[in-house]
Amino acid sequence: MKPDPAGAELGRTTLAKVSRRLIPFLGLLYFVNYLDRVNIGFAGPNGMNDELGMGATMFGFASGIFFFGYLLLEIPSNIALHRFGGRRWLARIMLTWGIVSTAIAFVPNAATLVALRFLLGVAEAGFFPGIILFLTFWFPQKQRSRAISLFMVAVPVSTAIGSTLSSLVIDWGQGVFGLAGWRVMFLVEGLPAIALAFACWFYLTDRPAQARWLDADERQWLEATLAQERAAAETGQHWPLRKALSHPRMLALAFVYFGIVYGLYAVGFFLPTVVAGFTQQYGSQLSIIGRGVVIAVPWAVAAAVMVPWARHADRTGERVWHVAIPAIVGGVSIPAALYMSNPYLAMVAITVTTCSIMCAMPVFWALPSTFLTGTAAAGGIALINSLGNISGFGGPYVTGWLADLTGSNKAGLWVVGALSLASAAVVLRLGSAPKPPSGNLTTPQRGVAS
């Protein structure tokens, strides 16, 4: 068959228009979302732990309890998004999480903080996998890793900007409204989610067929392309929701994600504490704002490298090694960070680890959608995210518990490295697995195990 230059050009212009319309807005939502999720990491060493009487173990518990509520409602929430549409459901999520996040500014004790962090997870359940699912409604498989990576740039950007922003608000907000600086931070950073909930309702479009901001031929091309991919994914044996939630490959993918995300949250929640500890370890003297700037460096570098990495995965069609290589590099670099002879080398190691985590994540999310569609995709993606995000509790809690037990962050970061290496081993095993008998599963794309 001869190439169709006109069709290729139509596809390029359509996807460019879709990207311009959706990615910046979804990235903004995730920016606010992720900042509200991890800003407790900045509050802890800057007055909150002392005021509420929390040690490292209790701080880790309060940070991680979020993910219990997240786990309970993740799958039902994603199925609801598939049923009711991203516009309505994402707006509902943002409104409720904004209200809970703002309320944390007024917690009187550690028990109330723990309760509100749990409710924050309940309110936010389904947000991230919902957007991953939402992107499958708009981007064909060949462009999906890049689209996900562009959306997920909000993670390092929110931490890079957020670390400095949160530090400034804590420092400058001390005494505003009669509140401690860390309380003002929760108040200032929770309100944008409420405002964006209303923007979400009016701005997002659920499916390409409803996109009046696309020309008729653009809508037709995108709908036909995505329908063709869905039909190909369903060739062989259809995956019902029950099978998607119980198949060993899904559980293996959940473990891979668990190992990657464990490092993300261990670093995200405890990096401010690690940097604050440079004073004792290396004799470095940093202000609150200076620590925020230092914390921003690894995330800023990660934002610059993750999109080219995902683009290379899309261009080559290879996924497994694009997940495994960063996981291996991160697994080696993170335990080494605290054995460096000066803070500069320590930050180099932490930066390498952060880049590795952020390179692996968007490419990973291109794997499940190669053999799941419809409700099975909604449930399967949510299952992987739910089980993987158990590490969101385990990472902060185990890291804090080991810090209290040993008096050092080193043991906790060794656990991060071991799980990252285990994730690499599992995804490589998936990549080398032989194909099942004909008709059992769908035909994979290059680099995805059957």
Residue 8 lies in a domain: no
Residue 46 lies in a domain: yes
Residue 218 lies in a domain: no
Beta-carbon contacts of 52 under 8 Å, excluding residues fewer than 6 positions away, are 107, 109, 110, 113
Contact 367, 448 (CB under 8 A): yes
- What is the predicted pLDDT for the residue at 227? 86
- What is the predicted pLDDT for the residue at 115? 94
| Burial degree of 282 (CB within 10 A; 0-12, 13-18, 19+) | middle
Cα 157 to Cα 311: distance, rounded to the nearest angstrom:
18
- What is the predicted pLDDT for the residue at 3? 46
> Which residue type, as a one-letter code, is found at position 40?
I
Residue 74 lies in a domain: yes
Q: How far is CA 398 from CA 95, 371, 402, 419, in A?
A: 31, 34, 6, 13
Cα 400 to Cα 418: distance, rounded to the nearest angstrom:
17
Residue 446 lies in a domain: no
- What is the predicted pLDDT for the residue at 14? 92
Cα 59 to Cα 100: distance, rounded to the nearest angstrom:
18
The count of structural domains within the chain is 1
- What is the predicted pLDDT for the residue at 55? 85
Q: CA nearest 270: which of 392, 386, 99?
A: 392
Contact 444, 370 (CB under 8 A): yes
Residue 352 lies in a domain: yes
> Which residue type, as a one-letter code, is found at position 352?
V
Query: What is residue 341's DSSP assignment?
Result: S
Residue 178 lies in a domain: yes
Q: How far is CA 441 from CA 62, 255, 450, in A?
A: 41, 20, 7
pTM of the predicted model as reported, rounded to 2 decimal places: 0.69
- What is the predicted pLDDT for the residue at 1? 43
Q: Which domain holds residue 391?
A: 22-207+241-432
Residue 225 lies in a domain: no
Q: What is the CATH number of the domain that holds 152?
A: 1.20.1250.20
| Average pLDDT, 10 consecutive residues per value, the chain (450 residues) | 62 90 90 81 86 86 80 78 84 92 93 93 84 87 81 77 80 87 91 93 91 91 86 56 67 87 74 70 69 80 88 86 92 78 81 89 79 62 76 73 79 85 91 48 37
